[in-house]
Structure 1
Amino acid sequence: MLADRLTRLRAQYGSALVTTGTRLIDLPFRYGMHLLIALQLTLDEVGAFYIVFGTITFVSGLGRLGIDKALTREMARALAHGDTASARASMIRAFLLVGLFSTGIAAIMAAIAWPLAVHVLHKPAMVPLFLIGAAIVVPQNITTVCAGALAGLHRVTLSQVVYTWLWPAAFCAMAVVFEMSDAHALTAVAASMVVSTLIGGGLLIASLPARRDDVVHAYTRPAPLVATGLSLFSLEIVQLLISAAPTFVLGIVAPTAEAGLYSIAWRVVLVIYMFVGGVASMVSPRFARLYALGDKAGLAQESAKAVGYALALAILPIALVTIESGRILGLFGPSFVGATLTLRILLIGQLAATLSTTTPELLGMTGYARSLVRVNTVALVILLAGLAILAPPFGAHGAAAAVTLTMVFSAIAVTIVARRRLGFVPLGALYASMRGRPAYHAAESATPSASEVQDIPSTEEARAELSRMS
């Protein structure tokens, strides 16, 4: 009896626990990095570092345009048909495209470093920092493509290593050995990205399957990586701006120290998102398969299980951080205790995001990606307007309020869309399952219209993938 129950629990939650464990490895390295920065730099230097780091994170996204995610899908599709030649060709094309775009973005960043620091931020001392930041773009994006290719090869664990904690681990090693300033910290980031590129490239080469040119393949013409990447990147850009825009705007309208306070508060909040995001990435392909198979009841049950698991992971950390905000910020240094209110404001937005966990992925994987794009477009307007109105008078608190308003709107909007289009939302499905009621009811529009559909898998592809996963 006990053995059977353990077997069922393993089948239901085994993969989730592995994903959570992988995310836990990220914790000491990524947050060790932020802790070392806070402890070794002054508050003004912390602010300057995160202004540049956030800006580079955003512009790096413009250098890859979602091509890494498009490559993951394209390689997985090619390998499902045994077409290693097409998978390799797509990989080479992705590296060339991202290398070209990233080099252009890096050159533009280097060219605008002086006017950006002097005329926009009114901080001439930051010119060298932006020049160093420009050197981060190319290795960061090449590393990301390595991770995307590894995911396409179904080397998920290696992909997560390269995506998440490899370069922060290298940074921590450098930060312990060398003296840090804002310029030194950015240089260490650039060097860490180079190290990550070399290791990620080595892992990718070792993981590549042998060519099979003697096999006749049924694989169709590969999809254009740029067009596919752009459709996927449109869903990512709001998250990039939520991470980057507040510190940049604070750099313009407030003292650099305000950007430092906000940045550390935001990094504490991201501890919670790290687990929630892991659950969302884990269930996305399951949503796509279940929807393609027409299993709406299974889709509702899967989403209920996922949001329940996310809540179990997130509620206790949210409560702990809310109660002990000042003490947790004090770990980064006494000067950061002033961000306590900022952190608590951000936690409201994170709670809203947690309650709507997996709903954006549910819409994206079931053919309603265009509805999701519209929600994200409005969210982007709210974010930028909120920062423009609230950041100048209230500093870090105002920036946190703008981000929280954006996250609350997004949570409400995707919930309404999911309810109208699919007939359920994950949180409602969880509540129904706990009450012993059916989690799924017929939606107003059970099938997406032609204007809504954005490249969902066919039933045959879904069944083949389901067999392979089994």
Structure 2
Amino acid sequence: MLATALLLGLTTTAQTTAAFYSLACLITMLISLTWWLRKPGIHWGGVEQFPSATLWQSCLPLWWVAVMGLGVQWAGQLVPAAYVPPEDLAILAVAQRTAMLTSFVLMAVNLVVAPKFAALYKQGKNEQLENIALKATKLMVFFALPIVGFIKIFPERLMWLFGEQYKSGANLLRILALGQFVNVMTGSVGYLLSMSGHERALRNVVFVSGPMAIILALVLTPLYGVTGAAVATAISLASQNLLAVGMVKRRLGFNTLAVWRRTG
């Protein structure tokens, strides 16, 4: 629906684009809810009560993970707003969004493997858990490499799609894509920790990366402008995932970076 509105030229302003986006989300939600409720076996009655203490025990650390994750993602844009012209900030924002194409495959694979992580860990099948985690990482790296290669070789062409003035953000795109590729290369480490009952370990990781993103942005942006902000974001994102790799190794006993290992 949103794509159709864009192609037909109905989204002439940011306000109308936002309105079409919100309408598309609402309709998607209603269709999905109707589809789900019509499936056999779905009913509201007879639902077993879930202990709120157990729910809170997992939710509180993951709340901090979400908050610090936003810090890593947006500190590189919010902090530079006080130091750089709006047009430079716009180029940085576009570069960051475009670089996230690198980790698109990560989001798709995580939707599939996350429940499998939980089931295998609950069943004590640690070897199968390691195998599926490494297979998922190999798959993500395989599909992400061509995207990263294209971004590294043709960043000007990608940024040109948003306008001639955006071509100056080619180096920003390269820097941010590198950070996103580290995110892909480390695998589904966040889900491995959260789906295996190690929410607090994941929280401890983001307690390092979140403040790091803000501090680096505050230090590097006044010195190097939007380039410093891009470097701050890339370093923070890469550090968060590499720390999570170490935490997975410590808690679950295997290294998701060891993609060269043969899996069953």
* TM-score bracket, shorter-length normalisation: 0.7 to 0.9
Whether the 8 Å CA contact 1:284–1:361 is kept in 2: the answer is yes
What residue number does 1:309 align with?
A: 139
SS across alignment from 1:274: helix
SS across alignment from 2:49: coil
Whether the 8 Å CA contact 1:171–1:189 is kept in 2: the answer is no
Following superposition, the deviation at residue 229 of structure 1 comes to 4.7
Whether the 8 Å CA contact 2:71–2:211 is kept in 1: the answer is no
What residue number does 1:196 align with?
A: 25
Pick from 201, 205, 209: which aligns with 1:375? 205
Following superposition, the deviation at residue 293 of structure 1 comes to 0.5
SS across alignment from 2:65: coil
Q: Does 1:169 align with 2:19?
A: no
SS across alignment from 2:215: helix
Pick from 59, 64, 67: which aligns with 1:234? 64
Whether the 8 Å CA contact 2:102–2:181 is kept in 1: the answer is no
Name the count of aligned residue pairs. Answer: 260
**Could you give the per-residue CA deviations for residues 81-122 of structure 1, whole angstroms, max 9, x where no partner exists?**
xxxxxxxxxxxxxxxxxxxxxxxxxxxxxxxxxxxxxxxxxx
What residue number does 1:272 align with?
A: 102
One-letter identity of the residue aligned with 2:147: P
Distance 2:209 2:93 in 1: 21
SS across alignment from 2:260: helix
What residue number does 1:427 align with?
A: 257
Q: What are the equivalent positions in structure 2 for 1:47-446 lying under 5 Å apart?
A: 168-169=2-3, 172=6, 176-179=9-12, 184-209=13-38, 211=43, 213=45, 217=46, 219-221=48-50, 223=52, 227=56, 229-428=59-258, 430-433=259-262
Following superposition, the deviation at residue 309 of structure 1 comes to 0.5
The TM-score normalised by the length of structure 2 is 0.88
Gapped runs of 5+ residues in structure 1?
1-165, 440-470
Q: Which has the higher contact order (CA 8 A, sep 6+)?
A: 2
**Could you give the per-residue CA deviations for residues 262-319 of structure 1, whole angstroms, max 9, x where no partner exists?**
0111121111111122112321111111111111110111111100110111011111
Inter-CA distance 196–415: structure 2 relative to 1 (3 Å threshold): closer
Whether the 8 Å CA contact 2:217–2:229 is kept in 1: the answer is yes
**Could you give the per-residue CA deviations for residues 117-150 of structure 1, whole angstroms, max 9, x where no partner exists?**
xxxxxxxxxxxxxxxxxxxxxxxxxxxxxxxxxx
Whether the 8 Å CA contact 1:170–1:192 is kept in 2: the answer is no
Whether the 8 Å CA contact 1:280–1:357 is kept in 2: the answer is no
Distance 2:186 2:63 in 1: 21
Gapped runs of 5+ residues in structure 2?
none
One-letter identity of the residue aligned with 2:228: G
In terms of Rg, which structure is larger? 1
Distance 1:229 1:360 in 2: 14
SS across alignment from 2:243: helix
Inter-CA distance 372–269: structure 2 relative to 1 (3 Å threshold): same
